[in-house]
Structure 1
């Protein structure tokens, strides 16, 4: 295993994402920049600036990406030329963007409490479907035909084939506000992290065992014999194994075995809070974004420093260590 930093001129990072089938790493940031790196060579391939801060980004494929901005716009980028255009608009800050490889739709959510579905091949600037929510979405994740939406401490499951309502009554896996959510076909479910350092893993199985899953406290820190509550900001699921990594507000990232619930690996601490993480397509690289930040009641409200790290996850035989 090894760690290296990316030489970057980016401002404080909001999201890191690996491309679907390469080691190109996309970074959105609060300084309104979208950047594309070659993670193998640690070099910047593309930089495109927008007019507003970018709070999230996602790939459509190796050639096209999207980002959500603080002015409510959803921006499309050509990753060859850096050209950009506006897909559409929300009424408030866009907080999450997800592209569904299953349906070919872009799903976005905003502080306007709306979930928009965009046909990215159409010329219309209007969404082709809308979901109205009761509260602001804290985290959004797409897995196959499922959309999972975290609102406060509840998770709602939707099926994109029928958006008249959730397919399951609201799930409340955690006692505190959910900060991050990642669903995965590899896990056959989702992992969610909360403000108090607790993780819940729940499965999509709707059979007899409806309580299949578990919760555990994984990020308590103790300096004087008493555990403090450390928010979990990011979760990334390994693309090939039943393992996931959690990153917290004090700069720690830990890899867990989803089946045994055991810690597989704890990385040396980072310089700031872990705000976003992503595995590459093979699971041999892990990108970690670390920001020096001031934490507000609901989200990061001030950011003044950053670093992007690439962890190489190989053992002495060149294989992933877990």
Structure 2
């Protein structure tokens, strides 16, 4: 039986300015939430290819995440953390930072929201409490936050100066580990492995690093970094930022998107690239796998690496994945 060929289509009515974040509803693979520099958060039904909801904000929205059920959280340049009720199309202000909110995470274990800001703080919020009471913890950090992610009881925070803090969300008084990544330049994205064993982080230097939480010599021997998102132009190697990472929910492989307008799928365990999709019209600013693992959402959106320049319209592509697009290379080989 021949496997289905992966297909792709473009989402109708995309944001009008840079797309900052894509995230699927963890309980519904048809619902995609999108934040943008056009000061909106939009909810799409990808099966019907239509916009379901739109929330307008005071300024550019830099990140968005789903919470429990039909609730989401957004933040950005306006410095405010907003709770979005998707069932009633209403909003609730939970609180604010002193500078822009760069990254937002929802942790299912604690039922809390975590925000990382350019004001060099990490805050913990209990959304069940009213404004001015919802902030339950403030952690002073050494640098600005660039990216965060959480899995089980672990929260990872990527900051300026290539620093990564790893927290146990059950005790946020101090980080479990403080690490300086092996990557030599500014971090862009950090994502936890689905099995909870570690994380991947990406940087502006066209490299991705895999790190592991277990401090044993055996586990630490598995960590490594590799080159990606590079092209040879006129006999010169051009290096592009890796803007975004996303792990497949079941296979444990991951996708990377770069300013070379390319999306690649990697088998981190076997250190191989599985797939590279045809180039997109513009830089890849965000990626998200659906919870059932059958779909990859791709934001093709200029990230202003080169300042103001002409660029393609911002677009969101939905790619239906074939059976072998994301399976680990060893598993693919064994089935041939």
Corresponding residue for residue 197 of structure 1? 206
Corresponding residue for residue 235 of structure 1? 245
RMSD: 2.0
Tell me, yes or no, if the aligned pair for 1:295 and 1:301 is still in contact at 8 Å: no
Distance 2:201 2:176 in 1: 19
Distance 2:58 2:309 in 1: 19
Q: Structure 1: which 5+ runs fail to align? A: none
Distance 1:131 1:274 in 2: 31
Distance 1:5 1:254 in 2: 19
Aligned with residue 169 of structure 2, among 150, 160, 166: 160
Q: Per-residue deviation at 1:296?
A: 6.4
The structure with more helix, counted as a fraction of residues: 2
Corresponding residue for residue 180 of structure 2? 171
Corresponding residue for residue 74 of structure 1? 81
Corresponding residue for residue 150 of structure 1? 158
Tell me, yes or no, if the aligned pair for 1:293 and 1:304 is still in contact at 8 Å: no
SS of 2:260's partner is coil
Tell me, yes or no, if the aligned pair for 1:105 and 1:120 is still in contact at 8 Å: yes
Matched, 1:14 2:20: yes
Distance 2:66 2:32 in 1: 10
Distance 2:149 2:84 in 1: 21
Give per-residue Cα distances to partners, 1:255-288, cap 9 Å, x unaligned.
0011111111101111111000000001110000
Change in Cα spacing, 1:33 to 1:230, as seen in structure 2 (3 Å) is same
Pairing of 1:182-261 with structure 2 (within 5 A): 182-186=191-195, 188-209=197-218, 210-261=220-271
TM-score (norm 1): 0.93
Q: Per-residue deviation at 1:295?
A: 1.7
TM-score (norm 2): 0.89
Corresponding residue for residue 3 of structure 1? 8
Give per-residue Cα distances to partners, 1:148-168, cap 9 Å, x unaligned.
111231211111222222212
How many pairs are equivalent? 317
